[in-house]
Amino acid sequence: MGLFSAMNASVSGMNAQANLLATVSENISNSNTTGYKQASTLFRDIVDQVGATGDYSAGGVTTLVRYNVAEQGGLSSTSSATDLAIQGNGFFLVDDSNGATYLTRAGSFVENSSGNLVNAAGYTLMGYNLAPGAGGVTLSSAGLTPVNINSTALIAAPSTAGTFTANLNSNAATLTGAPSFTNFTSKSSVIAYDSLGNPVTLDTVFSKTGANTWQVDVYNDAAPGTPLTTQTLTFDPSSGALAPPSPTSLSIAVPGGVTASLNIASTTQLASSFAVSQATMDGNAPSQVKSVSISSDGTLSYVFANGSQVAAYKIPLGNVISPDSLSNISGDVFQVNSDSGDLVIGVAGTGGLGQVQSSELENSTVDLATQLTDMIVAQRGYEANTKVFQTGSDLLAQLNNMLK
């Protein structure tokens, strides 16, 4: 009967408008929630069939709530380096207390009692540990570990890289006898650090073995018996620069530490006395973490009390083909599902992913003016559906009266 279908349709209309009002209420309540993505209520009609006698049955309406996850929110500056926002595509990868991984744009991370970075909803920021032997960047969820900035711990960083730049005197005499720790043309040193933070003095010994040809040996000053590395350097006689097949870096197994690369590409052979313009190695002795810095590609570096810095974690970003199809979970996080597509993990600033912005937070995408307008629309639509229901009820009452 068309009258009953009209009443049922009006009930579905009231339910639909109530859903619209519910999303408006949710959006307004989250207008200041970091990283919140505005919810939208989509209306879909339900069409019934026309009866054989020409009677029409109203179908009604149903709704679908969708979050505009891909929408970029505005960024606001903060005073904390661990407040993070994303300018562009992508999500931070976070874990809950059970180890399940989710996606979020809510980057209000602070250090908890264990030193891990957690956001306001209690989700832990995940990244790749860059410490030697920790696995490094794998771009897979299996290699993720909590990002930890324990500022109370003493941390030592072994040397992994350095730069040595010097000028070798082109007028130096060719060395007589075999080069050794005690028989050489010129010598200098650079300080490296082992895995425990002990300083290791590396002596770089240069021996002229012929025209435009030198031998470089690197010794452990504490035990100089056998060189840690030996290489032959050849210089261009017209420019004084290193020439092929000379190496541009030296691979040195630091005693008690890891293999470090010492860049010597700018070393020259000119008619001037031996001089070292740069001799530095990274790494540091045990020191407390004073603060952290986070670059746009997601590299988190410890800043130690002695002023040195060391890259500690790489914070990756994740993305899916259809962000708006992600499942919304309490705590402003999203879960991958079959509609969203598989999770792809990458480095910020590459592969279409956005950049990480430190000391900034992404604002809610809620537009209050639009929400207030939608509130009025929902109210009027609900009132109109109640009028239809009331009219149908009155008509049924009249029909019942005819039967008395």
* 288 Cβ neighbours under 8 A, 6+ residues apart: 151, 152, 153, 154, 155, 304, 305
Per-residue pLDDT tens listing for the chain (404 residues)? 567 777 788 888 888 889 899 999 999 999 999 999 999 898 888 776 555 556 767 777 888 888 899 999 999 999 999 999 999 999 999 999 999 999 999 999 999 999 999 999 999 999 999 987 788 899 988 899 999 998 767 888 899 999 999 999 999 999 999 999 999 999 999 999 999 999 999 999 999 999 999 999 999 999 999 999 999 999 999 999 999 999 999 999 999 999 999 999 999 999 999 999 999 999 888 888 889 999 999 999 998 877 778 889 999 999 999 999 999 999 899 999 999 999 999 999 999 999 999 999 999 999 999 999 999 998 999 899 888 888 877 778 777 777 65
Q: Coil, helix or strand for 3? A: helix
Q: Which of 165, 162, 163 is nearest to 242 (CA)?
A: 165
Are residues 84 and 150 located together in one domain of the fold? yes
Within this chain, do residues 83 and 138 fall inside the same structural domain, yes or no?
Answer: yes
* Cβ-based neighbour number of residue 277 at 10 Å: 12
The reply to whether 183 and 229 lie within a common domain is yes
Domain termination residue (choose one: 247, 282, 317): 282
Tell me: do 145 and 291 sit in the same domain.
Answer: yes
Range(s) of the domain holding residue 230: 159-282
Q: 64 forms bridges with which residues in the sheet?
A: 42
Shared domain check, 269 and 181: yes
Q: Are 170 and 259 part of one and the same domain?
A: yes
Please indicate, yes or no, whether residues 55 and 11 belong to a single structural domain of this protein: yes
CB atoms within 10 A of CB 68: 12
Domain shared by 274 and 291, yes or no: no
Beta-carbon contacts of residue 29 (< 8 Å; ≥ 6 apart): none
Q: Are 326 and 335 in contact (CB under 8 A)?
A: yes
Of 254, 282, 310, the one marking the end of a domain is: 282
Q: Are 158 and 283 in contact (CB under 8 A)?
A: yes
Contact indicator for 137, 316 with CB cutoff of 8 Å: yes
The Cα diameter of the chain in Å comes to 131
Q: What is the CATH number of the domain that holds 255?
A: 2.60.98.20
CA distance 326 to 71: 13
Q: Is-contact 76 360, C-beta < 8 A?
A: yes
- pTM score of the predicted model: 0.72
Cα separation of 96 and 328, whole Å?
A: 15
Do 263 and 229 lie in a common domain? yes
Pairing state between β 317-319 and 344-346: antiparallel
Instruction: Return the pLDDT at 2.
Output: 67
Q: What residues contact residue 222 under an 8 Å CB cut-off, 6+ apart?
A: 200, 201, 255
Structural domains counted in the chain: 3
Q: Which of 261, 282, 303 is the last residue of a domain?
A: 282
DSSP string of 312-343, one letter each residue: EEE--EEE-S-GGGSEEETTTEEE--TTT---
Alpha carbons within 13 A on the beta-carbon side of 351 = 14
DSSP H or E segment with residue 22: helix 2-29
Q: How far apart are CA 142 and CA 129, in angstroms?
A: 12
- Using CA atoms, how far residue 100 sits from 67, 94, 95, 281, 333, in Å, is 22, 8, 5, 39, 12
Residue 279 contacts residue 189 (beta carbons within 8 Å): yes
φ, ψ (nearest 5 deg) of residue 384: -65, -40
Q: Do residues 173 and 276 both lie within one domain?
A: yes
Spatial distance between the Cα atoms of 338 and 327, rounded to a whole number of angstroms: 10
Q: How far apart are CA 51 and CA 387, in angstroms?
A: 25
| Residues 151 and 292 placed together within one structural domain of the fold | yes
Distances (CA, A) of 147 to 82, 169, 335: 11, 49, 20
On whether both 86 and 172 belong to a single domain, the answer is: no
| Residues comprising the chain, all counted | 404
Strand partners, 356: 86
